């Protein structure tokens, strides 16, 4: 459970840094998001999940 909470904490830190350091970039990206095809978003999400699982596996292995 400690590892899970640490992961959530790191997520919040990174997300907070994006909002604090580059809010205009985030707003522009959010404006362009509806233009991206759903299939492309889904593929990017799955690739991100796979990369995250692989990274955890490598770091814990």
Per-residue pLDDT tens over the stretch 41-52: 999 999 999 999
Is the entire prediction scored with pTM above 0.85?
no
How far is the CA of 48 from the CAs of 2, 20, 43, in angstroms?
A: 23, 23, 8
Is the pLDDT confidence value at 2 over 90?
Answer: no
Per-residue pLDDT tens over the stretch 9-40: 999 999 999 999 999 999 999 999 999 999 99
* Residue 1: band (very low, low, confident or very high) from pLDDT cuts 50, 70, 90: confident
Q: Give the pair of three-digit tokens for residue 43.
A: 């593929």
DSSP per residue, 20-50: HH-HHHHHHHHHHGGGS-HHHHHHHHHHHHH
């Amino acid at each position: 459970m400690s590892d899970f909470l640490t992961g959530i904490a790191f997520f919040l830190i990174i997300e907070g840094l994006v909002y604090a350091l580059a809010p205009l970039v985030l707003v522009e990206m959010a404006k362009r998001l509806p233009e991206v095809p759903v299939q492309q978003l889904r593929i990017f999400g799955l690739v991100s999940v796979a990369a995250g699982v692989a990274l955890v596996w490598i770091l814990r292995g």
